[in-house]
Structure 1
Amino acid sequence: MAEEFWRWTESRWTDPDIDWRKGDIITGGVDVGSVSSQAVVFVDGRLYCYGNTRTGSNSPDSAHKAMGLAMEDTGMSLDDLQYTVGTGYGRVNVPFGNRAITEIACHARGANFMYGPTVKTVLDMGGQDCKAIHCDPRGKVTNFLMNDKCAAGTGRGMEVFADLLQVPITRIGELSLQVEKEPPPVSSTCVVFAKSEASSLLREGWPKEKVIAAYCSAMAHRVVTLLERIGVEEDFAITGGIAKNVGVVGRIEKELGITALKPKIDTQIAGAVGAALFGDALVKKERKKG
């Protein structure tokens, strides 16, 4: 079987300092995206565990897989969740979800939790689209723009590129920085054109690092164009899988003249985090009514 260079490592995490059995409010958030799916569990407003996995052939199975990975070895089951919110591409197809909320709202709320209340602009670089979001100190969306016309500036586009160059996707960012001089960007309008152009450059004798740098540069410029349309207000945070790519992030920062906040939590779980926090708020709201 040929090596799949696009394949990134699935992951999970549990906070050993939290005893979920003593929790008062336990909520779940599930972000079923076009490329990856994440699930988190919050206990009394604290992140207890998460799972980050590849989206499968259908949304219901992907939701179950992500939450199953998150709950692995915790002793928890779906019955222990008091409220679950679905978000992302497959948000209406989370079988155990109580409610579906848009990924725009959930990423803003998740970024607010992950980076703090000073965040005013959030860039979510997802599997098939990019979103530029303005939010207030509570993580509420005040404005947003979305670009989903082509995979060239997204995680899926980067996966295609990794396979083309036969370079592990986890190394793309660091390799893109190993050039003496920044090359001109490849086509950023379409992933098909970008692949064709990259193949031509390789045939011309360009080293892989230079071709990768040209693609990362194109991706960064495409994203900056989106951000400039909405305006970037500091503090600025990036969520999604591409936030882990130092080559793209560094070039975005350089073009904007702004340094993004450094993440302390896996950037891919922001949407699921926001979903679980919405669930926590909804449980508290219902209790007040009662």
Structure 2
Amino acid sequence: MFTVGIDVGSVTTKVVLLNGRGWRYVVRPTGCSPRQAGHEAFEELLGQAGLSQDDISCVIGTGYGRISLPFIDKAVTEITCHARGAHHLLAGADMVIDIGGQDSKVILTDGRGSVVNFAMNDKCAAGTGRFLEVIAAALGSDVSELADKARGAEPVAISSMCTVFAESEVISLLAQGVAKGRIIAGIHRSVASRVAAMAERLGKGEQIIFTGGVAKNEGVREALSRELGREIIVDLRSQLAGALGAALLAREKPVRKEK
């Protein structure tokens, strides 16, 4: 049985194809059309596997663009899908920290992939991938360079987490001659402090996995670990947690299609 999970995020679209022998995936930019990105990524993955849509038992969509996918069988919230996918990546994980392009969330689970509680910031860009992109641009850097530039630097205090004000503060710090590495380290600490506060409202996780695109930033991971006093696990496939969880849910509760 083949099942597919599609996670259409604000920055990237992830599609996972699951069968009894393992799984494969495609990741591509979402761009300006979530519907087109989801459809093209789905078709690309089917083509790689030598399958057609009729071969797929169930397709579940998740992420902010899930409602734009007319070909899916069911839409499921990213909270549920990330919890399930994270458990597959790290058995026994009881807390998922997910920082994507437009929101950040902390999910407390029962250690078996089911949601117990969650907290989410989706009202502003503070602490998200978009926030880091704006700060990187203000520093004349690429977001992928931030962790390396901050390594070993003493964080400077950042007083604002509003994207607009933080950008202005970064420009002011640069004008004062503060080293870029210190500014980036301060940004990482501020992001981690904001997310850690959400996590502590839910309770301390014992096994914490970090998912979403920002999980690739080693500086944010290290800052989170310090703030929470816990090891933070990042699987190489952490960005795929939502799509993987959707594919797993499709396998567990498949929708029977009419042929």
TM-score scaled by structure 1? 0.84
2:99 counterpart residue number: 125
Q: Does 1:158 align with 2:139?
A: no
2:118 counterpart residue number: 144
The correspondence of residues 27-42 of structure 1 with structure 2, limited to 5 A, is 27-42=3-18
5+ residue gaps, structure 2, are none
Separation (CA, whole Å) in 1 of partners of 2:44 and 2:167: 34
DSSP-derived class of the 1:85 partner? strand
Runs of 4+ in 1 over 6 A off after TM superposition: none
DSSP-derived class of the 2:177 partner? coil
Separation (CA, whole Å) in 2 of partners of 1:218 and 1:65: 37
Could you tell me how far 1:207 is from its partner in structure 2?
A: 2.0
Separation (CA, whole Å) in 1 of partners of 2:207 and 2:9: 26
Q: Which amino acid aligns with 2:172?
A: S
2:77 counterpart residue number: 102
Q: Which of 188, 199, 203 matches 1:216?
A: 188
Q: Does 1:88 align with 2:63?
A: yes
TM-score scaled by structure 2? 0.93
Q: Does 1:171 align with 2:142?
A: no
2:165 counterpart residue number: 193
Listed one character per residue, the Cα deviations across residues 233-285 of structure 1 (whole Å, up to 9, x for unaligned) are: 2111111011111111101101111001241x4211100000001110122x8
Separation (CA, whole Å) in 2 of partners of 1:92 and 1:148: 17
Could you tell me how far 1:186 is from its partner in structure 2?
A: 4.4
DSSP-derived class of the 1:276 partner? helix
Q: Which amino acid aligns with 1:56?
A: G
Separation (CA, whole Å) in 2 of partners of 1:72 and 1:201: 50
The answer to whether the 8 Å contact 2:211/2:234 transfers is no
Could you tell me how far 1:185 is from its partner in structure 2?
A: 2.8
1:217 to 1:69, Cα distance in 2 relative to 1, 3 A: farther
The correspondence of residues 66-85 of structure 1 with structure 2, limited to 5 A, is 66-85=41-60
Q: Which of 219, 237, 241 matches 1:266?
A: 237
The answer to whether the 8 Å contact 1:186/1:214 transfers is no
The answer to whether the 8 Å contact 2:62/2:242 transfers is yes
Separation (CA, whole Å) in 2 of partners of 1:156 and 1:47: 33
Separation (CA, whole Å) in 2 of partners of 1:211 and 1:240: 23
Separation (CA, whole Å) in 2 of partners of 1:78 and 1:86: 15
State the Cα RMSD in Å. Answer: 1.8
DSSP-derived class of the 1:211 partner? helix
Could you tell me how far 1:82 is from its partner in structure 2?
A: 1.6
Separation (CA, whole Å) in 1 of partners of 2:27 and 2:159: 31
Tell me how many residue pairs correspond in the alignment: 257
Separation (CA, whole Å) in 1 of partners of 2:25 and 2:13: 11
5+ residue gaps, structure 1, are 1-24
